[in-house]
Structure 1
Amino acid sequence: MLEINFRIKVFYVVAKELSFTKAARELFISQPAVSKHIQELETSIGQALFLRKGKGLVLTEAGHTLLDSAKVIMKEYALADYRLGLLRDQVVGQLIVGASTTLAQYIMPKLIAGFVKEYPDVRIKLFNGNTADVDRWLNDKRIGIGFVEGLPEDSSLKYSKLWDDSLVPVARPDHPIFKDATIKLDDLRRQEFIFREQGSGTNDIVFQRFKQFGIEIKELLNRVQMSSSESIKRYVELSDCIGIMSIHAVKDELERKDLRLVEVEGFSIHRHLYMVHLHGEVSGLPKLFMRYVEKNKSACDNYML
């Protein structure tokens, strides 16, 4: 495997995380070792790369300049590693993928497991955030390929539809809303909801759809927001809140009858799930993974209801 200058790699990770502690965790070295590498790099170029600000770090002008070059170096290194492997009839290297919550928790593990089985010498890191996080990571070149559930909004990115998804309202089986045989749209105005955090692609779709039905989000009672689908499901089971979640996320709970669909007359929310990357040619492992996902996306159809 091609080895890159380790100090550049340490700098790149610290610049991404703006934290010696997080960088040490990602690099599997001690925090003092990270500090030593940065100090030696700063000494060699004669300029400070970071300044301390509160408990965190900020890049200096020299740091920003070096980071621009480091991004190119890391990308070219990954591509060279991949191409050299092909000369040995091997597919090697590290692939960094970003996915928004629903995809990261319920779709990507199956695809990544199949990819690793087919290409056992590839190392994969999967970062989990919301749609806004994934879009930002792509623009910052922190990841090579992304998967999101929100509305395509960033003109610098290319979105390719992979799957259709349904967002469904769910509540605990003995929720008071089920006392009426028929649940109407106006009944939702009197309920409390739990929503995802700001920046969530799920929120974007849900809020837009409510508005189309004539319901403003500010009309609805919402005291709790959570970033984890698993946390939201657990909270819904223990409270009088209604959660609106991907059918992927609640399939098992519905089958076990831990949760129940809130079936509202004339109310439905559908969305697309996307693969996303920067405009321009995609090469190396990201391109290989894109092709694998396109070829095997039907393997995830059993997640659909």
Structure 2
Amino acid sequence: MSDFRLKVFLSVARNLSFTKASQELFITQPAITKHIQELESLYKTRLFERLGNKISLTTAGELLLEHAERILDDYKQLDYEMHLLHNEYSGGLRLGASTTISQYVLPPVLARFIEKFPQVSLSLFNGNSRDVENALQEHRIDLGLVEGTLRLPNLKYTSFLKDELVAVVHSHSKLVKLDEISVEEFCKTPLVLRERGSGTLDVLENSLSAHNIKLSDLNVRMYLGSTESIKLFLEHTDCMGVVSIRSISRELTAGLFKVIEVKELEMQREFSFARLQGEEGGLSQVFMQFANHYNKTL
């Protein structure tokens, strides 16, 4: 029902790229150009400055972006509420989730959700927690699921699921003979950790601060961008990794990895839903309620 040209403009404005917009919307680049030209003709003004291969928003483009975001959000809410009159859940829901959640928690929930609500179109953006929060603030997703301890004032966080970080080594590691180590020994042990911006690193940093220890005090050999990368790295080194217990359960059962207890280092955390302040209801609320209903099985 909404003007598709606004969706095209919004995609180009957010990506600052006609090519990326065509890939995102699955239409040709000439079609993208045509829609933008139609809007510029309609409003008798340029919406983008073109400088070689780069583009930027004009003042008129920034104004249209502000209104287009509100208009398309209103259309989405209208579509949702009109279908709800007939007890139908329909529309699109753009989710964003941190790497750990998207890989080890969400898949069964998503499978059950689309089975129950086949008319809802789901998409999932994957990144670290900071990436997900940025996507929320830029209106690129409707609902985020994040880990970590940091909280942004313009986002509302709702607890979803408890998790625990554990120190692990591969079964071939020289460290596998250990059952537990002190915090001081942990600091000296060669480590491979998740990257800056990840909720996993946030939690570890916060736990260490209770012992007046900084990340710079650790013997970190490598920062990696995913838990799977850490697991593969550990297969070939004598390093220790810090990961979610949920991400390593199968390997622990198979005897491929071993958890080493770090005495007095509590690394508990919560996975949380994140939304923009003031944005409640709609399909985001439906998904949150559904996911919480299946919380017991996760």
Equivalent residue for 2:6?
8
Residue type at the aligned position of 2:13: A
Q: Which runs of 5+ in 2 are unaligned?
A: none
Q: 1:132 aligns with which of 122, 125, 130?
A: 130
Name the aligned partner's letter for residue 17 of structure 1.
N
Unaligned runs of 5+ in 1: 301-305
Q: CA deviation at 1:122?
A: 0.6
Instruction: Measure the CA separation in 1 of the matches of 2:290 and 2:177.
Output: 48
CA pair 183-294 structure 1, distance change in 2 beyond 3 A: closer
Q: Which residue of 1 aligns with 2:253?
A: 255
Secondary structure, in 3 states, of the residue corresponding to 2:235? Answer: helix
| Equivalent residue in structure 2 for 1:190, among 188, 191, 196 | 188
Identity %: 38
Q: 3-state SS of the aligned residue for 1:288?
A: helix
Partner Cα separation in structure 1 for residue 5 and residue 237 of structure 2: 51
Question: Which residue identity lines up with residue 218 of structure 1 in the other structure?
Answer: S
Query: Quick check: 1:144 aligned with 2:142?
Result: yes
1:50 match: 48
SS at match of 1:170: strand
How far is the alpha carbon of 1:84 from its aligned partner? 2.2
**How far apart are 1:106 and its partner, in Å?**
1.3
CA spacing shift, 1:36–1:223, aligned 2, 3 Å:
farther
- CA distance change for structure 1 residues 73 and 232 in 2, over 3 Å: closer, same or farther? same
| Secondary structure, aligned partner of 2:280 | coil
- Displacement after TM superposition at 1:246 (Å): 0.7
Question: How far 1:293 moved relative to its partner?
Answer: 2.1
Match of 1:303 in 2: none
Partner AA of 2:268 in structure 1: H
User: Matches of 1:63 and 1:281 in 2, distance apart?
Assistant: 25
TM superposition score normalised by structure 1: 0.90
- The alpha-carbon distance between structure 1 residues 136 and 266, as it changes in their structure 2 partners (threshold 3 A), is same
For residues 201 and 135 of structure 1, the distance between their equivalents in structure 2, rounded to whole angstroms, comes to 11
**Contact 1:10 1:38 (C-alpha < 8 Å) held by counterparts:** yes
2:294 equivalent to 1:296: yes
With normalisation by structure 2, the TM-score equals 0.92
Matches within 5 A, 1:41-190: 41-52=39-50, 56-180=54-178, 182-190=180-188
TM-superposed CA distance for 1:86, in Å, is 2.5
In terms of mean alpha carbon deviation, does 246-255 or 233-242 score higher? 233-242
CA deviations 1:59-78 (Å, max 9, x no partner) are 22222211111111111111
User: Which whole-Å deviations, capped at 9, do the CAs of 1:85-129 have from their partners, x for residues lacking one?
Assistant: 223442211011111111111111222211111111110011111
Contact 2:208/2:265, CA 8 A, preserved across alignment: no
Query: Are 1:168 and 1:268, in contact at CA under 8 Å, matched by a contact in 2?
Result: no
Instruction: Work out whether residues 79 and 283 of structure 1, in 8 Å CA contact, stay in contact via their aligned partners in 2.
Output: no
**What residue identity is the alignment partner of 1:18?**
L
Rounded to whole Å, the distance in 2 between the matches of 1:226 and 1:55 is 32
**Offset at 1:269?**
0.8
Contact conserved, 2:150 with 2:202, CA < 8 A, in 1? no
Report the residue type matching 1:188 in the other structure.
Answer: F
Aligned equivalents of 1:181 and 1:229: distance in 2? 22
**SS of the residue 1:161 aligns to:** strand
What do the CA deviations read for 1:192-221 (whole angstroms, capped 9, x no partner)? 222222211111111121222343211223
Q: CA separation in 1, counterparts of 2:179 and 2:94?
A: 49
* 1:34 maps onto 2:28 in alignment: no
- What is the Cα-based RMSD across aligned positions, in Å? 2.0
Alpha-carbon separation, structure 1, partners of 2:106 and 2:248: 16
2:207 to 206, 209, 213: 209
